[in-house]
Chains A and B, each alone.
Chain A
């Protein structure tokens, strides 16, 4: 008979091994990409030889950047993500404030109507939204990629929840002091709601940095193409073929900023994504 203590020990060891193996398997994707992006492209990958080469080189990154205008793709992605973020922070704060603090005719109905955005995801509406963008004359602009996201039902909902948690006394005191609505919002409602805004912002940045299908449809030239589209075009370039070190370098180029941000602010990111699911 194995003693209970030993059995517990063995179970723990087994679970640790299982965790380590699974996590390594999951991480092998990014680890491989990082390792191979520094492998000289003169050393082609082969059976049983798919990791380190003989030396480390930065040449793949330079080559990737010379083959495709990643600088421009970067600029476009940053413009798109930035526009969306700024617009969203403003619109969700204002709408959240109205729904949390004010009474008006049709409040419930309008709130429900806005939540429609959560029930019909934008991806499904690709075709008619493309028509709208064309009609607005925005086709092939960064604004076209960003515009549909300037209002967020989910963000509005989150901010409303955050504002409703602000103690009533505090708000009443502000009103007694003769605060205008924007003073109330700025000095009383917003400060305790900053963590919610940050959580929303992180998931918004991630989501839009990574978005592919919508930009694929509404962009046509380098003046509006973001990184994700640029990467896919890069992988389809004739001269790339199966030059994995080059592909890995391009992929890491696209991932890097967000990934580093994530490594530094892991906790905040996970919290943000926990929030983002709580619909």
Chain B
């Protein structure tokens, strides 16, 4: 191949240099990605409670952890919550991201400020954002209900303490946090679209709306695929706001998968069940990334 390769391989001694160069990265991936994956699978076949003396040492119990998991009403509730959470936050953030991108992709004075307004949540720690949102959800004088009242809403006041609204509340925060981040990908996509596409459409008298949905959105299909993947993975791995706002409650109403995993391991101290949950989460994550990979290959990425 290259001169470099030849000059290096001319030496008879085996070339250990590249292995040395990649070894730090390789070791980290081995120790903190590959090994824990194997360990989680292994430990998921054992019973181990750290808070019960006689179950402190792991005992092999086969698939019992999985059986317990899939018959436990708690877990089924968590699966349901997680599904609602993902199916709710992902499309909502994507639609908003696309709308924001269209709005700020216009040459208007002060548009930079609007872009800043949409994007800044990306760089805030989720726990800080959630702390401020707690105030917005405060009953009586919180800004969220005040805002809703201007639209005629007079429903329940206490969002975070209401089993029907707590999950929705944490979803709203996630959507608020993510939309601006996803926006920048659409913005980049829009700016890469050939301008004459829009010009030709305008000459044909196509309305702004038509231009949008019939021309821009289909052309940005690859961006949408990509943005969906990021959004879905994010929905599974960010639960920080739940720690601040609801602690998964009331009575499990806002508990999603990763939060539940944390509870099982660090509150119930049930290592075996937590390992089985880890395996479930790994399988979900892997299927998302692999699906994205296959789809984007097909799209000719």
Contact = CB atoms under 8 A, between A and B. Distances in A.
Contacts of B40: 125, 127-128
B57 interface: no
Looking at A11, A120, A129, A172, the one whose CB has the most chain B CB atoms below 10 A away is A120
A247 interface: yes
B180 to A, nearest CB: 7
Interface of B: 1-5, 7-9, 15, 17-19, 21-22, 24-29, 31-37, 39-40, 43, 100, 103-104, 106, 108, 111, 113-114, 116-129, 131-136, 138, 140-141, 143, 146, 176, 179-181, 184-185, 188, 208, 226-227, 230, 233, 236-240, 243-244, 258, 261-262, 265-266, 271, 274-275, 277-278, 281-282, 285-286, 289-290
Contact of B123 (A50, A150, A244, A258): A258
9 contacts: A20-B114, A22-B118, A23-B117, A119-B290, A123-B236, A127-B278, A211-B125, A231-B125, A277-B227
For chain B, what secondary structure do more than half of its interface residues adopt (helix, strand, loop), or is it mixed?
Answer: helix
A94 B123 contact: no
B243 A47 contact: no
A261 B34 CA distance: 35
B29 A127 contact: no
B125 to A, nearest CB: 4
A97 interface: yes
Contacts of A12: 108
A9 to B, nearest CB: 13
Interface residues of A, number: 102
Nearest to A202: B123
B32 A122 contact: yes
Given A147-B28, A235-B131, 4 more contacts: A126-B261, A128-B39, A217-B266, A247-B135
Interface of A: 11-12, 15-16, 18-20, 22-24, 26-30, 32-33, 36, 45-50, 87, 90-92, 94-95, 97-99, 101-104, 107, 110, 113-114, 116-132, 147-153, 156, 168, 171-172, 175, 181, 184, 206, 209-213, 216-217, 227-228, 231-232, 235, 242, 244, 247-248, 250-251, 254-255, 258-259, 262, 266, 269-270, 273-274, 277
Contacts of B32: 122, 125, 129, 132, 147-148
Contacts of A120: 33, 37, 282, 285-286
A212 B127 contact: yes
Given A46-B141, A274-B184, A114 B261 contact: no
Contacts of B111: 19
- Which 3 A-B residue pairs are closest in the complex by CB-CB distance? A151-B28, A128-B36, A23-B117
